[in-house]
Amino acid sequence: MILNLYHKIKHKWMKLRLQPIRVFCLHHVCKTYDETTMYQGDWMQIDEFKAKVLSMQQNGVEFISLSDAYKHICNDHVRCKKYAVLAFDDGYASLKEILPWFEEQQIPATLFINGKYLDGKSYRKNPNEKYLIKEELFSLTSPLIEIGSHGWEHKRATEMTAEEFAESVKRNIGLLSGHPNYIPFWAYTYGSHSNNTDDYLHRQGLVPIYIDGMKNYNEIKVIHRELL
Ligand SMILES: [Zn+2]
């Protein structure tokens, strides 16, 4: 009872001194929704997206890279500024529409990539999906772009054996760590994770990333994400 109260007060105090860092999860941001290559829930109209980002900036939000966000999460004792991160999953080819705007606006973004799809083929349910190919991904060397992991294939971590998960980590990191902008962060596909997969990632020096709608304060073992 007293311990509970102590934790409640501690948590309140933490929220008072630390502005949360929001990490947003996105997929397709482009002009037109194409039902043959996209799932509607994964698509945001590009002008709507730009308006949202600009309006957040006008409201004092600074968009920073995931690496910088993590440094803040690890080191800040007091945080007054509102920071946010934009992160795109799956490495779809539609990214080519929005990436030039990030350069123009000097806004950083993180891409979470499945290594297997960089050969340009789709192995997923929708065979028409279009992905960035390896040459395209490896030519993204702007300091604004960071490359993290989303698994070798787009499979749920909790539906793999420990060996399969370890192999997925090994293969994906083996490929992506050759990218000059690689960062050791692992965004779980579908947010599917367990204590075992988290422990494994930690042992490999990777920070697990959930998609649980939560914001980040000072927890260094995991990054939380939400939808924009
Ligand atoms: Zn995904």
Cα-to-centroid distance, 39 and ligand 1 (Å): 12
Asked whether 199 and 212 are in contact (CB, 8 A), the reply is no
Tokens for 108?
A: 């950083």
Residue with the two structure tokens 């294939």? 153
Q: Which two tokens stand for residue 153?
A: 């294939």
Dihedral sign for Cα 55, 58, 62, 64, please.
positive
Give how far Cα 9 sits from Cα of 12, 14, 16, 152, Å.
Answer: 5, 9, 11, 42
Ligand 1 centroid distance, CA of 186 (Å): 11
Compute, in angstroms, the gap from residue 152 CA to the centroid of ligand 1.
11
From ligand 1's centre to the CA of 183, what distance in Å? 17
How does pLDDT run along the chain (228 residues), one tens digit per residue?
Answer: 788 888 888 888 888 899 999 999 999 999 999 999 998 899 999 999 999 999 999 999 999 999 999 999 999 999 999 999 999 999 999 999 999 999 999 999 999 999 999 998 877 778 888 999 999 999 999 999 999 999 999 999 999 999 999 999 999 999 999 999 999 999 999 999 999 999 999 999 999 999 999 999 999 999 999 999
Whole-prediction pTM: 0.95
d(CA 12, ligand 1 centre) in Å:
33
**Residues with a beta carbon under 5 angstroms from ion ligand 1:** 89-90, 189
Distance from residue 78's CA to the centre of ligand 1 (Å)? 33
